[in-house]
């Protein structure tokens, strides 16, 4: 797996290394996934790193393991969240070694689109306890995340909870966002990058992955390779479809 070396003192996490010598067998899940089977190390960009690939390629499994290895809750949330709704965590994090930067992030969050509902419920449960001295939801804009649409709740998270000087690990943040909100997310992400933040993102969205100063790692059957934005399957397929969608529909529907 070819990786570029990024030399920058603003990393919060520099790279993830797979401790192959400690893995009992590479034949079973999750070690037989394309994202993992040929991985030795994954070098992160100090600003934005994307992990992209087909469904089932292992990108969400990998990003979950990175988050848990750093200290985040497997279902998402801040570094201090500690809850479990359903134990579906793979053992991969036990075999990942993270090289951290000299600085520690002052903020951080792990977003899993599929379990964000559980995070919202956990926040409400914490705020309902008698010992709560202040409402956690105030850090998310003050309005219950359950009382907003899924997309509005995601955007409240990005706009209110993300405060800069942070490490933000996001699994498919586009899942609840319209195209215009995805572009707004790019703008917000740039603001946070300018405030010394680092992002690691698994995504299917060619809008989300368009940030200009970033590293994109594309997963296929041969493993994971750093890939220019315009050469990712996501960009090529979307461009072909939008350029001549009528002919594409004819092909798809014959």
Mean pLDDT of the chain: 90
Is-contact 62 96, C-beta < 8 A? Answer: no
Tens-digit pLDDT profile for residues 58-96: 999 999 999 999 999 988 888 888 877 766 678 999 999
Residue listed under structure tokens 């994307």: 50
Of 56, 37, 21, 5, nearest to 224 (Cα)? Answer: 37
Q: Which has more confidence, 39 or 192?
A: 192
Q: How high is the pLDDT of residue 37?
A: 87
Take residue 156 and report the two structure tokens written for it. Answer: 């409240």
Q: What global pTM score does this model have? A: 0.92
Is-contact 102 8, C-beta < 8 A? Answer: no
- Residue 4 has, within 13 A of its CA and on its CB side, a CA count of 14
- Residue 232 has, within 13 A of its CA and on its CB side, a CA count of 27
Average pLDDT in the 171-190 region? Answer: 95
CA distances from 138 to 14, 133, 157 (A): 32, 12, 11
Tens-digit pLDDT profile for residues 203-234: 999 999 999 989 999 999 888 999 999 999 99
Phi, psi values for residue 41, rounded to 5°: -150, 155
Q: Is the bond into 30 cis (omega within 30 degrees of 0)? A: yes
CA distances from 177 to 78, 110, 156, 173, 207 (A): 21, 17, 12, 7, 11
Is-contact 30 52, C-beta < 8 A? Answer: no
Complete domains list, the chain, with CATH: 13-252 (3.40.50.300)
In terms of DSSP bridges, do strands 198-202 and 96-100 run parallel, antiparallel, or are they unpaired?
Answer: unpaired
Question: Residue 1 above 60 pLDDT?
Answer: no
Is-contact 239 231, C-beta < 8 A? Answer: no
Q: What angle do CA 163, 204, 71 make, to 5 degrees?
A: 45
Scanning the chain, the segments in alpha helix (DSSP H) are 34-37, 59-70, 116-127, 150-156, 179-193, 233-243, 245-252
């Amino acid at each position: 797996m070819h990786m570029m070396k990024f030399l920058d003192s603003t990393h919060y996490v520099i790279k993830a290394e797979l401790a192959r010598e400690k893995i009992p067998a590479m034949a079973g899940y999750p070690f037989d996934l394309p994202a993992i089977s040929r991985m030795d190390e994954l070098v992160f960009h100090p600003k934005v790193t994307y992990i992209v690939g087909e469904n089932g390629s292992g990108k969400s499994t990998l990003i979950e393991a990175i988050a848990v290895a750093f200290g985040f809750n497997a279902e998402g949330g801040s570094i201090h969240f500690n809850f479990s709704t359903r134990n579906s965590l793979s053992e991969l994090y036990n075999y990942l070694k993270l090289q951290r930067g000299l600085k520690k992030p002052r903020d951080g969050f792990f977003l899993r689109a599929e379990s964000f509902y559980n995070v919202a419920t956990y926040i409400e449960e914490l705020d309902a306890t008698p010992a709560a001295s202040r409402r956690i939801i105030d850090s998310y804009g003050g309005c219950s995340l359950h009382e907003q649409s899924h997309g509005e709740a995601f955007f409240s998270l990005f706009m209110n909870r993300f405060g800069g000087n942070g490490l933000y690990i996001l699994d498919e943040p586009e899942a609840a966002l319209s195209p215009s909100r995805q572009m707004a997310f790019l703008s917000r992400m740039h603001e946070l990058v300018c405030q010394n933040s680092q992002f690691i993102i698994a995504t299917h969205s060619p809008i989300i992955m368009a940030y200009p100063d970033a590293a994109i790692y594309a997963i296929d059957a041969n493993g994971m390779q750093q890939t220019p934005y315009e050469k990712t399957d996501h960009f090529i397929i979307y461009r072909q479809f939008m350029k001549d969608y009528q002919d594409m529909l004819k092909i798809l529907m014959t």
